[in-house]
Structure 1
Amino acid sequence: MATNLLRRSRLHADAVLRLIGDFDVPSTNNTAERAVRMPKVNLKISGRFRTLDGADHFCVIRSFLDTLRKQGHNMLAVLQRAFAGAPIPSVG
């Protein structure tokens, strides 16, 4: 097992060490883990989502909110705009 790790580290050294030279690269995958934590907690508390569509909608909304939070938007203002029918315009 350690041999495989060493072999892969040597093979992908540029990717493994990228975080040293590029400060925008996170050193962990905690962001990805946090993104899936809420659906998992919801699943554990309620036992399940009532429908597959409900689970899909939950994940889409959660993804949008997480992206806007990472872009520095105020979550209360984002939700107020969405419910008022004036969501944040897309960029690009």
Structure 2
Amino acid sequence: MRLDRSNLNLLYSTRYSKEIPDTYEWLLVDAIEGERRFIRSDELDASWSIFTPLLKELEAKKIAPDLHLYGSKGSVGSHYLAANYNVRWGDLASDE
């Protein structure tokens, strides 16, 4: 993988005139343009049937998202959740 700093320019014919973007980039462009080839309609229906009741409950109970600061390792709530299960950030990496 090679990182490439660039301005946000989704006109690939202008930005990438000498190379063809990889498949993942094309998938993102398709999604931005509303193309849904990467998900079947029954999968989309199943997703909405799962998440719609959850979204309605969050809205009805006025539950706000648990925000965290940019650059932090997560929200305060995520640290409490991890502590409930005796887990600390980085535990997996330190065991390997």
TM-score (norm 1): 0.27
Greater relative contact order structure (CA < 8 Å, 6+ sep): 1
Which protein is bigger by CA-based radius of gyration?
Answer: 2
More helix by share: 1
Q: TM-score, normalised by structure 2?
A: 0.26
